[in-house]
Amino acid sequence: MHASLDQLIRKLARLPGLGPRSARRAVLYLLKNRDRLMVPLAQDLFDVASQVRACAECGNLDHGDKCSICLDPQRDHSCICVVEDVGDLWAMERAAVYRGVYHILGGTLSALDGRGPDDLHIDKLLRRADRLAATEVILALSATVDGQTTAHYIAERLAATSVEVTRLAHGVPVGGELDYLDDGTLAQALKARAKLVS
């Protein structure tokens, strides 16, 4: 096998979800579809690598210094939704139910991994909330010990301001059956029960 081919397989094998065997299959497939897939893919990879960068405001990935969400005047800039990473932002956008702006933290506090407040974009969030005169900060963080510890920490830091701090509800997912839920989720769902309006 040619060295460049071997190098390509090795590099592809390092991607999440791929191993050496699937990387070999992908490379063979690309070579069989050289003009239709391989060259355009290489061009797209080059374009994304050279043009996409983290938004200076929220940390989202987009072209230019500021992302399209932060530049959109139709968005409510007084409402900031805090998420752990870009994948979570994309998930919220797929739902198409939120019209405010975002702030990407870059992870959660974790005593075990030695990740403290200085390793996350928390100070930047506080400065941004102040600058945008935010009225609400929504903490859309994981329902895990680390995620909720981070949420409480941010709420504590924002307590001195007039910003309303909210978090996403925890409980029964759409399509979920009570019989299959763990007791912790059920306990949270029961705590957050809401009055039925008829």
Partner 1 sequence: MPEWQADAIIISVRPHGEGNSIVSLLTADYGRHAGLVRGGASKKMRGTVQPGNRVQASWRARLSEQLGQMQLELTQAVPARFLDSPMRLAGVASICALLEGALPEREPHAGLYAGTDALLSLIAMDDDNTGWLEGYVRWELGLLHAAGYQLDLDRCAASGETTNLAYVSPKSGAAVSQNHAGQFANRLLPLPRFLGGVACPAHDWVAGLDLTGHFLAKRVFAAHNADIPAARRRLADMVETRYKQAVDNQEAVR
In the complex, minimum distance from the CB of residue 170 to partner 1, in angstroms, rounded to a whole number: 6
* Contact status: 159 vs partner 1 (CB under 8 A): no
* Contact status: 170 vs partner 1 (CB under 8 A): yes
The interface with partner 1 within residues 82-121 (CB under 8 A) comprises 111-114, 116
Strands (E), the chain: 52-54, 61-63, 76-83, 100-104, 136-139, 164-167
* Contact status: 145 vs partner 1 (CB under 8 A): yes
Single residue of 156, 164, 168, 176 touching partner 1 by CB under 8 A: 156
* Contact status: 187 vs partner 1 (CB under 8 A): yes
Burial class (CB in 10 A: 0-12, 13-18, 19+), 91: exposed
Q: Which residues of 184-198 are buried (b: 16+ CB within 10 A; e: fewer)?
A: ebeebbeeeeeeeee
- Pairing, β 76-83 against β 136-139: parallel
Single residue of 2, 34, 94, 191 touching partner 1 by CB under 8 A: 191
Q: Which of 109, 103, 59 is nearest to 81 (CA)?
A: 103
Site string for partner 1, 5-34 (x = CB under 8 A): -----------xx-----------------
Kindly list the residues in this chain that would bind partner 1 in the complex (CB under 8 A): 16-17, 111-114, 116, 143-146, 148-149, 152-153, 155-156, 170, 182-185, 187-188, 191
